[in-house]
Structure 1
Amino acid sequence: MDEFKDDLEKSFKKINEGDILKGTVIGVSDTEVIVDLRYYAEGIIKLEELSNDPRFSIKEDIKVGEEISATVLSTDDGHGNILMSRKRADDILAWEHLQEDMDMKKIHTIKVAQAVKGGVITYLYGIRAFIPASQISIAYIEELEAVVGKEIDTIVITASAEDNKLVLSGREVEQERAEKDKNSRMSKLQKGLVTKGIVEKIVPYGAFVNIGDGLSGLLHISQISFKRLKSPNEVLKEGEEVTVKIID
């Protein structure tokens, strides 16, 4: 009874151009989507008003039963229906979501759509986004075309509706994950552990030793030998295997 009352009240609610309404998809054709607005008239969204994403497919990306939001373009299309645009609603709502996602550092898995000068293009919430070449990955990307079609975990690093500027970064996601992984592995190392390692680099104050599993530590010059050394080079060389003890 209460649900019927709600539907009745909504059916008499005044709808104006520019309103953003939510409805349920009840029909999909090659040229348009029909939306149940729980109103006396149905909503019609033409194909060209569905998405800005060039990869969009009306048959694959829109399903009967799903809820979508759209902006009212006209309260009467000449056939008693409400003409709507999901693109315009997406543009308004997307920037709000993007700002929130940037603040929360929410991770989005995107698919690279196109390589351009200086980076690649993708789409997030229907908004065209740019990923600079330096922000695609920690690893150097020599051929940008090689990442087209691939999925990348990214975060939003710039979101400006005023400038219509959306920039993403995959590099920052990789860096944070690598740091967490490194900290996790380091937490498992116990003080006093004796292990073998490879001298990676010699510096005036000691040497950096790779102890495996992606971890390196500083072997201070004062800890290299019982005798006083002027330079680590007196007893060590890069690439040499050494036995070390973790003291801190």
Structure 2
Amino acid sequence: MDEEQKNNEAEGRKLMENALKSVHDVKVGDVVTGEVLAIDDDKQLVVGIEGTGVEGVVPFKELTADRNADINELAKVGDKLELVVLSTIGKDKENGSWLLSKRRLEARKVWDQIEEEYKAGHTIQAKVTNNVKGGLVVDADGVRGFIPASMVEDRYVEDLSQYKGQELELAIVEIEPSENRLILSHRAVVKKQKEAEKTALYEKLQPGDVVEGKVARLVNFGAFVDLGGTDGLVHVSEISYDHVDKPSDVLKVGQEVKVKVLNLDPERDRISLSIKATLPQPWDDIEEKAPVGAVLDGVVKRLATFGAFVEVFPGVEGLVHISQISHRHIATPGEVLKEGQDVKVKVLSVDPQQHRLALSIKALEEDTTGEDEGEQPQEDHTERNERYARAEHNIHNASANRGGSDRRNARRNDRPAQSRPSNNSAVNAPGEQEEDTGFSLGDLIGGALDQFKSNKPDTDDEKNDDK
């Protein structure tokens, strides 16, 4: 054997020794590098595990989670992939193959990353893949996570399907990689965001501000409007100038609304809002809409002992004093009227500043009682008005002695008794002042005044006066 041959044999033995040293046993859980040798008919990769001399297979489902993916686009012969050993295939490890996975190795890396984020108190991003009974399923870079229904929002969500396909920011509630357990919360993120927004909102918001919001919830007593950080309450009485039985009759969840801030209470986290305060005021231009002498259609809203309140425009009510309801004497308005009844009324007087409207029903009706006081001698009018004034004056003094309102007293003293027409006068005579129909103390004692308008004095003092 010549020298060259000896050298070749020595080199061959050395290469064999090095090759044998590089071969190592394959164990479940090992991370290995596999070279793609072929793609078989079962849509799986056949790979050679480097440094082992054995082969393994990567099923399609262990290559990707996308069932619609094309395997030929994911891998080609000659590609080298980093894989994790799942198990052995066949009883003889030396001659058998190994089950390998690319997808699970990537998931293992994701688990490690998620654990790091969890320890640091950070949030993660995940896409909602499905909604199931009890919550949402998400995909966090290949790791399956679950959001319980109670942790989806800071409020109850009836339809969870609306979140499918959405990318959500999530807080990590619980993590256990060995059990593939990942519990996440979107509610915690929303709550933290709203707290920051709420603080900023209270700092800039002031009573009287008009802002835009979105109806978040409807309840029997009003509507909660999301102002972008916290909800404010629009009480049912602040929704419209029209009467609203139920907020759901005029509003719906998600509706954009303009509201005025009535009151702020940061300590109790309460904001009072009004929708109707942003609308045109019902009493604006009332003298043009309801001039004296105009005939209007109205609805009886309320009955009182001294008269009936009739709504002639949304949010505008006028008073039909009991003396202006009927030509015949009535003891109570309920004898001829009922709440909800449609009526026609004539405008007697308008006070835009005080939001008062005096109305008459009998002015539009024919007097069938046979008592046309317009044909009676003028002295009868004067005598009756004087008795009317004396009765009202006596009651006024009694009220003042009991601590009555100064404002009412001033208004009463400013009204001359002679300006009040008789009970049966439908339209004032020329030059006479129109009757103020019941926005004063006289309104509250309308029934009593009828006695003094009659020709039957009730007290001894009045009998003596009549004499």
Per the shorter chain, which TM-score range? 0.5 to 0.7
Which consecutive residues of structure 2, in runs of 5 or more, have no partner in the other structure? 1-17, 212-226, 233-260, 266-271, 279-467
Q: How many angstroms apart in 2 are the aligned matches of 1:111 and 1:101? A: 17
% identical aligned pairs: 22
CA distance in 2, matches of 1:100, 1:22: 24
What amino acid maps onto 2:88 in structure 1? S
**SS of the counterpart of 1:123?**
strand
Q: Of 97, 109, 123, which residue of structure 1 is paired with 2:139?
A: 123
Q: Using CA pairs below 8 Å that are at least 6 residues apart, which structure has the higher relative contact order? A: 1
Q: Assess if the C-alpha contact under 8 Å between 2:36 and 2:47 holds in 1.
A: yes
Structure 2 CA distance for aligned equivalents of residues 63 and 92 of structure 1: 21
Equivalent position of 1:153 in the other structure:
169
1:164-207 residue CA offsets vs partner (Å, 9 max, x unmatched): 53211122223334445566x57xx79xx9996369xxxxxxxx
List gaps (5 residues or longer) in structure 1.
Answer: 1-7, 200-211, 221-236, 242-248
CA-based RMSD of the aligned residues comes to 4.8
What corresponds to 2:70 in structure 1? 59
1:20: how far off? 2.1
What displacement does 1:96 show? 4.2
Q: Give the 3 Å change call, closer, same or farther, for CA 168–130 of structure 1 in structure 2.
A: same
SS in structure 1 of the partner of residue 70 of structure 2: helix
Name the one with the larger helix percent: 2
1:135 positional shift: 1.7
The 5-angstrom pairing of residues 90-239 of structure 1 reads 95-124=111-140, 126-138=142-154, 140-161=156-177, 164-180=180-196, 185=200, 197=209, 214=229, 238-239=273-274
Which is higher, the Rg of structure 1 or of structure 2? 2
| Cα offset, 1:103, TM superposition | 1.8
Q: Distance in 2 between matches of 1:213 and 1:88?
A: 42
- 180 and 85 in structure 1: CA distance in 2 versus 1, 3 angstrom threshold: same
2:54–2:95 CA contact under 8 A, matched in 1: no
Report how far residue 14 of structure 1 moved.
0.9
Q: 2: distance between equivalents of 1:105 and 1:71?
A: 32
TM superposition score normalised by structure 1: 0.55
**Inter-CA distance 109–34: structure 2 relative to 1 (3 Å threshold):** farther
The one of 37, 41, 60 equivalent to 1:47 is 60
When residues 17 and 162 of structure 1 are mapped into structure 2, their CA distance, relative to the original with a 3 A threshold, is closer
Letter in 2 for 1:15: D
Question: How far does the alpha carbon of each residue in 1:64-109 deviate from its partner, in whole angstroms, 9 at most, with x for none?
Answer: 6685441252398887765423466567655544433322244333
More strand by proportion, 1 or 2? Answer: 1
Q: What is residue 18 of structure 1 aligned with on the other side? A: 28
CA distance in 2, matches of 1:10, 1:70: 23
Q: 1:26 to 1:156 in 2, by over 3 A?
A: farther
Q: CA deviation at 1:126?
A: 4.1
- Are the aligned partners of 2:43 and 2:60 in contact in 1 as well (CA < 8 Å)? yes
